[in-house]
Amino acid sequence: MEICGNKQVIPENDFGKSQQASPQWVDLRSWLELVARTGQLKTIAQCADPNEELAAITYMATRSVGSPALLFESFPENPYSARVLSNMLGSSKERYALTVGMNPHASMRDLIEQTRSVVKRRIAPTMIDRGAAPVNEIVLKGDEIDLTRLPIPKFWPADGGPFIGTGSVTLTKSPSTGRVNVGIYRQQLFGPRRIGLNFVPGRHGEHDVQAAWALGRPAEVVVAFGVDPLLFIVGSQRFGAGESELDAAGGIMGRPVELAMAETVDVLMPARAEMVIEGIVRQGDGEIEGPLGEFHGFYSEAPTRKPVIDVTAVRFRKSPIMTAALMALYPSGEIGAYQTIMRSARILDDLDNIQCPGVKGVYCHPAAASGNCLVVVSLKQMYPGHASQALALTAQCPAATYYTKWIVAVDDDVDPTDIDEVIWALSARCNPSEDIDFLRQTMSFRADPSIAPQDKPYGSKILINACTPYRYRQQAPVRTLLRRSVYDSVAKRWNELGFSGVAPSLSEFYDERKKEL
């Protein structure tokens, strides 16, 4: 194994403290060049077996936060010289920042706040001629197609088979409005021209397919592999029925997503993807699909019959880069930093829209099932019952209601992104018999491993008030904090004192007004 590119530290002054810029890349290949220059790409030239070994290498190489992306270059029996990229984003907030045009040195809280701004921007996609699309370097149709000749990973020992679609995006079209949806749905490989389509119930992709079936015709789909990471991020998020993921991706990039029309189906395709599959989904045509080792650390539910895509065309670039998303415990799962940041930003937006005052920060901790199960909200208490109100509203706001189990409220002197500070608040400010409530019969996850099969998807939520009791706030003990003037003096002398780097950043200091304990 060797590092691809020489590690370079990105100068702080290239971005400034909070400056944002449009991403400086146009496709996955130019994104990888950027990542390599910052030392965050490891190229693996040795031959790797896609049957469990690729996943094992990925898992073992990513057991620390911020591990590099992994580009596998060599596989046995690989006629198209295909490559596989795993841990594309993973637990790296720096790669997320580079992807969305933010300062990779920024704190997690700053990235969340900046994300709230950029996700509101919209730029519609642009069309280019199919013949000019880079993805059309090689085109296979009919009997030429044999997806089994590609290095398709089987990730975990008890997986139902190899899964071609984990780091891909699926494009569908509404038969009534023509709206194009971009979603992420796992796809098991069943044969040379047959792949599964495991929809998340209730999502727009499933609605589009069912709407086509209701009209008595097969649904048409495009699956794109090796897309730019931003389209992957956007495809994983929930948008309203009238919103376009393509517009959102263009807004964040500051330029339109380039699309071309597919040939064998009436669906648009990302022109700069590494590989595109066109196909049709017939009602009643299915295969027994699954299980797959998932992000919560268990296999998904028992194998069930799922729809199948009958592949009609495959297009790819020379030496295409397949994107494989390992589902695993943090920090090894692909669903890591980007999900934490995007979900935290959207919860903050929801609380603003609900007009819940005083909220200073929100953080979905990534180790809690890929940012899904533990949400910490930091607030400046303003009135009796404020913390309880913030807990209830956070638990049931649109961005947090799905699968969230633990909601913790802390005072604004606690950094919600710092789990040590959160645990301190739980230990020092929470009286369990008074400060814990439950919500029952709430929305959970269809594969929640903690719930009996007959009870899914109904779950529960725990609301924990780890704030200073509002009624006793005037009598609350004073925290042991440094005096600001002393901190500033020590920080200036940090290197003189023999320490390397910069002094630790502190945001809370002793309140000079509190003279008596």
pLDDT digits (tens, 9 = 90+) for 412-469: 999 999 999 999 999 999 999 999 999 999 988 878 888 888 888 899 999 999 999 9
Q: What is the pLDDT of residue 448?
A: 86
Segment 326-348 mean pLDDT? 96
Q: pLDDT for 60-117, tens place per residue?
A: 999 999 999 999 999 999 999 999 999 999 999 999 999 999 999 999 999 999 999 9
Q: At what angle do helices 108-118 and 337-354 cross, to 10 degrees?
A: 60
Q: Lowest-pLDDT range, 71-80, 295-304, 317-326?
A: 295-304
Partners of residue 2 on adjacent β-strands: 43
Q: What is the pLDDT of residue 515?
A: 55
Q: Lowest-pLDDT range, 18-32, 142-156, 268-282?
A: 18-32
Residue partners of 23: CB distance under 8 A and separation at least 6 = 31, 98, 99, 100, 101, 230, 252, 253, 254
Q: Which CATH homologous superfamily contains domain 337-475?
A: UbiD C-terminal domain-like (3.40.1670.10)
Locus of tokens 């390992």: 326
Q: What is the pLDDT of residue 19?
A: 56
Q: What is the pLDDT of residue 15?
A: 47
Give the phi and the psi of residue 506 in degrees, each rounded to 5. -120, 145
Segment 122-150 mean pLDDT? 96
Residue 10 has pLDDT above 70, yes or no: no
Q: What is the pLDDT of residue 403?
A: 87
Mean pLDDT of the chain: 93
Rounded distance between C-alpha atoms, residue 84 and residue 42, angstroms? 12
Enumerate the domain spans of the chain: 2-324, 337-475, 479-517
Q: Lowest-pLDDT range, 35-49, 77-91, 170-184, 229-243?
A: 229-243
Residue 1 has pLDDT above 70, yes or no: no
Q: pLDDT for 185-229, tens place per residue?
A: 999 999 999 999 998 777 889 999 999 999 999 999 999 999 999
Q: What is the pLDDT of residue 446?
A: 79
Rounded distance between C-alpha atoms, residue 82 and residue 316, angstroms? 10
What's the CATH fold of domain 2-324?
Answer: Pnp Oxidase; Chain A (2.30.110)
Using CA atoms, how far residue 198 sits from 189, 307, 421, 489, in Å, is: 12, 7, 39, 59
Token pair of 266, please?
A: 């009436």
Q: What is the pLDDT of residue 16?
A: 43
3-state SS string for 141-153: EHHHCCHHHCCCC
**74 touches 84 (CB < 8 A):** no
Q: What is the pLDDT of residue 23?
A: 78
Rounded distance between C-alpha atoms, residue 300 and residue 448, angstroms? 9
Q: What is the pLDDT of residue 227?
A: 95
Q: What is the pLDDT of residue 511?
A: 86
Rounded distance between C-alpha atoms, residue 507 and residue 484, angstroms? 9
Q: What is the pLDDT of residue 211?
A: 97
Residue 513 has pLDDT above 90, yes or no: no
User: CA quadruple 414, 420, 426, 429: dihedral positive or negative?
Assistant: negative
Per-residue pLDDT band for 516 (boundaries 50, 70, 90) equals low
